[in-house]
Amino acid sequence: MAERGPWGEQPALEGGHVRLEPVAHAHAPGLLAAADDDAVFEHLSVARSLDLDDADALVERYLRMPLWAWAQIDVESGEVAGFTTSYDMDEDLRTVAIGHTWLARRHWRTPLNTEAKLLLLGHAFDALDCVRVVWHTDVRNERSQRAITRLGADREGLMRKHKRRRDGSWRDTVQFAMTDDDWPSARERLESRLRR
| Of 116, 106, 115, the residue nearest 70 (C-alpha) | 116
| Of 118, 155, 123, the residue nearest 139 (C-alpha) | 155
Residue 104 has what DSSP assignment?
A: -
| 29-82 tens-digit pLDDT | 999 999 989 999 999 999 999 999 999 999 999 999 999 999 999 999 999 999
The kind and range of the H/E element at 157 are strand 154-164
| Of 23, 21, 10, the residue nearest 61 (C-alpha) | 23
* Dihedral class, residue 16 (left if φ above 0, else alpha if ψ from -120 to 50, else beta): alpha
Strand partners, 155: 176
Reply yes or no on whether the pLDDT at 4 is more than 60.
no
Amino acid present at 66: P
pLDDT at 5: 72
Domain range list for the chain: 12-195
CA distance 124 to 6: 10
| 146-171 tens-digit pLDDT | 999 999 999 999 999 999 999 999 99
Amino acid present at 31: L
pLDDT at 2: 41
Class of domain 12-195: alpha beta
